[in-house]
Amino acid sequence: MGEAPQLFFLNGFSKFGHETQQNHSSNDENHDSSSWYEEVIDDDLKWSFKLNRVLHKTISEYQDIALLDTKRFGKALVLDGKMQSAETDEFIYHECLIHPPLLCHPNPKKVFIMGGGEGSAAREALKHKSMDRVVMCDIDKEVVDFCRKYLTANREAFSNKKLDLVINDAKAELEKRKEKFDVIVGDLADPLEDGPCYQLYTKSFYEKVVKPKLNDNGIFVTQAGPAGIFTHKEVFTSIYNTIKQVFKYVIAYTTHIPSFADTWGWVMASDQPLSIGAEEMDKRIQTRIDGELLYLNGAWFHSSTIMNKTVSQS
C-alpha cells in the first residue's frame, strides 16, 4: 500500500457561503503530489482537489490568500479557504458576469466593477471595442497586488490604460463619485448575514446607491451565488427577488461551473428592456468584441435564462 494522502485545509469563510475544515500541515509551501485541498460543501458533502503544490500564501487585513496548483483545474485562487476561481474554467464565470450586460447595452463606454480584485472581470470588459474606461474598486489591496503578480492571464488587463484601479469600499466609492456609468457590476462575496458584503445586496443599496449612478439606459449585473437545485435558496432567490423590487426589467441566468461543483447564478437588471435575440447577440459578439469568447453565445444565453420548475417557483 502507498503512503496515505495528505489533506490540506485553509481556514476561513467564503464568498460561496460553505464551511471549511482546518488541518494545517508543516510543509504548506511544498506539498507533494499526494496532497489534497479540501472544502466542506455541506455537513455530509466534501469537495477535494489533488494538488501539485501550494504556489504562494499570504494574509491580508481582510482575508487569507493562497494560490494552489491543482491537478484538475490548474492554478486556483483561494480566499479564506474557499475556491474563488480556477485557471481552466474561470472564463465561464467571468464571461457570464460581464458580456450579457455589455452586449445588451446599446453602446457601453464606462463600467464600474465592485470587487473583482483578481482582474478577470476587468479583462473581459476591456475586450469591448467601445469601452473608454473600466473602474475596478476592490477593498483589499493585498488581493489585487497578489493577483497582479501571480495571475499571468490578467497582466495585460492590469496594465491597460483604460483601467482605473481603486482600492476602497465599493459603496463608499460609488457614493462619492459624481459620474454615472453604463454598466455597474457586482463581483462580490455572497451576502452572508454579518458578512463584509451583506450591505451591498440590500434593497436600500440598489435603490439609493447603484441605481442613481447608472445612466438612463444603464444596466446592473451581479453574481448571485449557487443556483443549483439544492442550493438556490442560499442567496440566489433572495438576490433576484430583492433586485426585482428596484428595477423594472430583471433577468436571472445560470450555468454549471465545474470547479465550483455547482450551478452558478447571475442577475441582470435595468429600467430599459434587456431582451435581444440570439442572432443579434451573436452579431454583437462578432462586431463589438476583440478576440473570441470561449463560452457565451446568443443561443446559450437565452437557454440559460430558463429556470427549472423548482428554482422558478422559489
Q: Is-contact 191 16, C-beta < 8 A?
A: no
CB 86 within 8 A of CB 76: yes
| Burial class of 295 by CB neighbour count within 10 A (0 to 12, 13 to 18, 19+) | middle
Could you give the 3-state DSSP secondary structure of residue 144?
helix
* DSSP H or E run through 64: strand 64-70
Known catalytic membership, residue 187: yes
C-alpha cell at position 89: 474554467
- Give the other-Cβ count within 10 Å of 241's Cβ: 14
**Contact residues for 66 (Cβ-Cβ < 8 A; gap 6+):** 10, 54, 56, 57, 58, 77, 78, 79
Strand order in the sheet with 133-138: 163-167, 133-138, 110-115, 181-187, 214-226, 262-270, 249-257
Q: Is 248 exposed, middle or buried (0-12, 13-18, 19+ CB in 10 A)?
A: exposed
Catalytic choice (89, 140, 187, 262):
187
- Positive or negative CA dihedral for 151, 154, 159, 163? negative
Q: Is 7 helix (H, G, I), strand (E, B) or coil?
A: strand
Yes or no: say if 66 and 151 are a contact pair by the CB < 8 Å rule: no
List per-residue pLDDT tens for the chain, 314 residues long: 444 444 454 433 333 233 333 344 434 444 444 699 888 777 888 889 899 999 989 999 888 899 999 999 999 999 888 889 999 999 999 999 999 999 999 999 999 999 999 999 999 999 999 999 999 999 999 999 999 998 999 999 999 999 999 999 999 999 999 999 999 999 998 776 666 687 889 999 999 999 999 999 999 999 999 999 999 999 999 999 999 999 999 999 999 999 999 999 999 999 999 989 999 999 999 999 999 999 999 999 999 999 999 999 98
pTM score, whole prediction: 0.88
